A and B are shown apart, each in its own frame.
Chain A
Amino acid sequence: MRSVSIVGVGCTRFGERWDCSLRDMIAEAGVLAIDDAEISGEQIDALYVGNMSGGRFIEQEHIGALIADCAGLSRLHVPSTRVEAACASGGLALRQAVLAVASGYCDIVIAAGVEKMTDVSSGTAADALAAAADREWECFFGATFPALYAMMAKMHMRRYGTTHEQMAQVAVKNHHHACMNPVAQYQMEIDIEDVDSSPMVADPLHVLDCSPISDGAAVVVLAPSDIARQFSDTPIKIAGCAQASDTLALHDRRDLTTLDATVHAGRSAFRQAGIEPRQVDVAEVHDCFTIAEILAIEDLGFVEKGQGGKATEEGWTALDGEVAVNTSGGLKACGHPVGATGIKQAYEIALQLRGEAGRRQVDEVEIGLAHNVGGSGGTALVHIFTR
């Protein structure tokens, strides 16, 4: 297998982009990434795009051909593939692109992610997202996505003494980071009182414990590491790339306070990269709900199981902490256009490793990690990045 590097990145602003269509956003992010890598269309061997539910959100399927067309590549007939793993669609697109380059089938490959969620009502969007859960045996009985994570939170609180204040601190921290990220949806500070006083969604999760509905697109350009310097002065090596699956329904999991898919993908990625979790300097983890970040830092091995809430409270995951977690603002505050999230995570880590993250730049970044989850943990992807 060949070593693979990121040689170009681009990301649109995330948020309620009423002025933009899915087509506009993918073109915007694509042009940014292609300009960054200084490549031309003729050099692109393949595209992979993560998109969860074009069919439900904009009544458009066949997103693979659409994005090739929008990118001006239709006359070059570049193969383009849409992949789907719910909220992990972007991470999965990145992995498919990595495999295409690593195998030697392709040299220059685009990994993209896009979602346009605000063209439908919030009720329709929530129902489309609920399709990532088990429609027949969870949603049919009245389960919602926040409810599934709320049930994990409830158990974590009971078993490990995690408090809602500790969960709220995840939101406070990620909003703080988002204030320093020009592409973030919510560039505003909040405090624990704001989270506590926001309306209850599913006990113990309040509105401000939840990631928003967002529009956005992100694109990265991959190349074999041995020629990466032809395209970028600061190529970012993908040192680990792993994916794991688990039961679709939460109730069938081995343990309701652990995402085993994260544990397995994490171990595999760390093994490939030859590093230990504690060596990671900066991580984008899947904080679709505040409890999800606490579970993620435990399941990835940054802290012991049960210590995620305490570690967050003590600033362990802050910008100047042991591992800076979700410097982009995470799903919570940067926004969560589901198909785009996994690629935006790679974009953020690439900026941090290049030293181009502006006011949210972490000092002396050597190793970065991106963690993307589908549904309540049926799919997980972990990528590890080095300079």
Chain B
Amino acid sequence: MTTQAPRFWRSIPQRYNLLGTHCNICNEYFFPPRNLCPNCRRGAHLESHAFKGTGTIITYTTIHNATEDFESLTPYNLAIIQLDEGPRITGQIVSSREEVKIGMRVRAVFRILGKEGDRGIIYYGTKFAPLIEPGCQGREKKKSGPG
């Protein structure tokens, strides 16, 4: 991960709080934030929107062979998640391989994503964990995957 400090710093609101945009004309939500709506191709009607962070796994994979930055995490789960407001996002799933499946409900969690050696920047951001819907009895299962 060769991100430099200003580059990461600029995206902290989105990475920490899932801050995106909503187009008032088209009523469509976007993550990451867009400067122009791809429907009406205008920017004046975009407002900031903080996503709830809950969503559903659309598809996933388990990565066994990663780039150098993520090699120590392998094997790890990566998925495309559809947030409840509509937009999709790519993220790691902190869960065992056996547990992950298409259609699984997840929620955003705040985690370390990477670091630049022992003295460099530590990158924080969003991963996703299994969601226990309200009304379900019992506590959330203990985290067993990489996280």
Q: Which of B54-83 contact A (CB under 8 A)?
A: 58-68, 70, 73, 76, 78-80
Q: Which of A154, A155, A249 contacts B90 (CB 8 A)?
A: A249
CA distance A253 to B92 in the complex (A): 19
Q: Which of A141, A146, A152, A252 contacts B113 (CB 8 A)?
A: A141
B88 within 8 A of A: yes
Question: Are A150 and B90 in contact (CB-based, < 8 A)?
Answer: no
Question: Are B78 and A151 in contact (CB-based, < 8 A)?
Answer: yes
- Give min CB distance, A63 to chain B, whole Å: 22
In the assembled complex, which residues on chain B have CB atoms less than 8 Å from the CB atom of A126? 67
CA distance A224 to B100 in the complex (A): 56
Known: A137-B90, A141-B91. A146 touches B125 (CB 8 A): no
Question: Are A151 and B67 in contact (CB-based, < 8 A)?
Answer: no
Question: Are A140 and B3 in contact (CB-based, < 8 A)?
Answer: yes
Output the nearest chain A residue to B88 by Cβ-Cβ distance.
A251
Question: Are B113 and A140 in contact (CB-based, < 8 A)?
Answer: yes
- Give min CB distance, A122 to chain B, whole Å: 10
- Give min CB distance, B102 to chain A, whole Å: 6
Question: Are B68 and A142 in contact (CB-based, < 8 A)?
Answer: no
Q: Which of B3, B32, B60, B127 contacts A154 (CB 8 A)?
A: B60
In the assembled complex, which residues on chain B have CB atoms less than 8 Å from the CB atom of A250? 80, 90
Interface centre among A130, A147, A152 (most CB of B within 10 A): A147
Output the nearest chain B residue to A137 by Cβ-Cβ distance.
B32
Known: A137-B90, A154-B59. A142 touches B66 (CB 8 A): yes
In the assembled complex, which residues on chain B have CB atoms less than 8 Å from the CB atom of A202? 61-65, 78
In the assembled complex, which residues on chain A have CB atoms less than 8 Å from the CB atom of B76? 142
In the assembled complex, which residues on chain B have CB atoms less than 8 Å from the CB atom of A150? 61
Output the nearest chain A residue to B82 by Cβ-Cβ distance.
A251
CA distance A200 to B65 in the complex (A): 8
- Give min CB distance, A177 to chain B, whole Å: 26
Q: Which of B11, B78, B88, B102 contacts A158 (CB 8 A)?
A: B102
Question: Are A144 and B90 in contact (CB-based, < 8 A)?
Answer: no
In the assembled complex, which residues on chain B have CB atoms less than 8 Å from the CB atom of A249? 90
In the assembled complex, which residues on chain B have CB atoms less than 8 Å from the CB atom of A154? 59-61, 102
The interface bits of chain A over 149-164 (1 if a CB of B lies within 8 angstroms of the residue's CB, else 0) are 0111011001000000
CA distance A52 to B11 in the complex (A): 27
In the assembled complex, which residues on chain A have CB atoms less than 8 Å from the CB atom of B25? none
Known: A141-B78, A142-B78, A251-B80. A199 touches B60 (CB 8 A): no
CA distance A235 to B113 in the complex (A): 54
B122 within 8 A of A: no
Interface residue range, chain B: 20 to 34
Known: A137-B32, A147-B78. A203 touches B89 (CB 8 A): no
Q: Which of A183-203 contact B (CB under 8 A)?
A: 199-203
Question: Are B88 and A140 in contact (CB-based, < 8 A)?
Answer: no
The interface bits of chain B over 105-134 (1 if a CB of A lies within 8 angstroms of the residue's CB, else 0) are 000000001000000000101110000000
CA distance A136 to B125 in the complex (A): 12
Output the nearest chain A residue to B78 by Cβ-Cβ distance.
A147
The interface bits of chain A over 108-147 (1 if a CB of B lies within 8 angstroms of the residue's CB, else 0) are 0000000000000001001100100000111111111011
B1 within 8 A of A: yes
A256 within 8 A of B: yes
Output the nearest chain B residue to A138 by Cβ-Cβ distance.
B90
- Give min CB distance, A39 to chain B, whole Å: 44
19 new A-B contacts, CB < 8 A, other than A202-B65, A251-B80, A256-B58, are A123-B67, A127-B67, A140-B123, A142-B66, A142-B78, A143-B90, A151-B60, A151-B78, A151-B80, A154-B61, A154-B102, A158-B59, A200-B62, A201-B63, A202-B61, A202-B63, A202-B78, A203-B62, A252-B88
Chain A residues close to B by CB (< 8 Å): 123, 126-127, 130, 136-144, 146-147, 150-152, 154-155, 158, 199-205, 249-252, 256
Question: What are 11 A-B pairs at a CB distance below 8 A?
Answer: A140-B123, A147-B63, A151-B60, A152-B59, A158-B102, A200-B62, A203-B62, A205-B61, A250-B80, A251-B88, A252-B88
